[in-house]
Amino acid sequence: MLTQKFILPQCTAEITASEQQETCFVTAGGRRPDLNWLRKTSAGYTVYCADAGGTCCLEAGIVPQRLYGDGDSAGADVYKKLAAQGTKIFQYPPAKDDTDLQLVLQQCTGCNLIVSGIWGGRFDHLYSNVFSLLGYKAKYGCQVIMADEQEVMLLLQASESVHVSIDKLQNVKAVSLLPLSNEVQVNIAGVRWPLQEAQLQLLYPYAISNEPLGDFACDCLAGAVGLYLCFTE
């Protein structure tokens, strides 16, 4: 089984993969990531933006390849400035069925994704983002990481494993396993409270606020789970 490595400023994740796939970076319209973090993490990737994610890129001096959205949060000036720098614009009416992130996902067609601008803001946006990204992963069999400098979540499905290396262990506030399907079975090792073939339930998520002892590993044996890490600011 192959592994694919994803390097973030605060941690590195090596995830099992059936094949090597291209990775793209997406900036959505939630909490803005730190601009230095954004520059470092997106370097070398094709960058797509969902509406207000274009504002982050503009402030960071990043020219995304494409910008999708309805302009209700980024503003016409952002669209105009990015278009002048060479970004391809796909603008939609505000009264639409799909979210701005869903518009991006419809065009990515199978690449691995590191997605920022996910956290913070409204819970309904976060909920839609998490499950839209899980649906994208299920459709294409790729890897999806939701991340900024404060929070990271890796989406894992049955038969997938990940090894996580932490840059500065003292900066990790918590490691949690969040079930994203009705029934989940997992292993996690290298943490204060390890689990072996543990059953997690969507309606009773209990594997919260674990503590890494160093590098750690997680296996998703059945279902779908979010491996969540919270870092000090």
In this prediction, residue 159 carries a pLDDT of 95
Rounded to an integer, what distance in angstroms lies between the CA atom of residue 151 and that of residue 171? Answer: 11
Query: Token pair 């590993």 is at which residue?
Result: 217
Looking at 3.40.50.10240, 3.40.50.2000, 2.60.40.10, 3.40.50.720, the CATH number of the domain 22-142 comes to 3.40.50.10240
Per-residue pLDDT, 129: 94
Where do the domains of the chain lie?
Answer: 1-21+150-233, 22-142
Model pLDDT, residue 141: 92
pLDDT attached to residue 155: 98
What SS3 state is found at 223? coil
d(CA 88, CA 206): 44
Cα 76 to its chain centre, rounded Å, is 27
Q: Which CATH superfamily is domain 1-21+150-233 in?
A: Thiamin pyrophosphokinase, thiamin-binding domain (2.60.120.320)
The C-alpha atoms of residue 71 and residue 67 are separated, in whole angstroms, by: 10
Question: What is the distance between the alpha carbons of residues 25 and 57, in angstroms, rounded to a whole number?
Answer: 11
pTM for the model: 0.94
What pLDDT does residue 17 have? 83
Please tell me the distance from the alpha carbon of residue 8 to that of residue 140, in angstroms, as a whole number.
23
The DSSP code for 168 is -
d(CA 213, CA 194): 10
Reference 143, options 11, 25, 9; nearest CA is 25
Contact at 8 Å (CB) between 12 and 165? yes
From first to last of the 233 residues of the chain, give the pLDDT tens digit: 789 999 999 999 999 987 788 999 999 989 999 999 999 999 999 999 998 899 999 999 999 999 998 777 777 888 899 999 999 999 888 778 888 999 999 988 889 999 999 998 889 999 999 999 999 999 999 999 999 999 999 999 999 999 999 999 999 999 999 999 999 999 999 999 999 999 999 999 999 999 999 999 999 999 999 999 999 97
Query: Tell me, what DSSP letter sits at residue 34?
Result: P
Residue 11, C-beta contacts closer than 8 angstroms, at least 6 positions apart: 152, 164, 165, 166, 167, 229
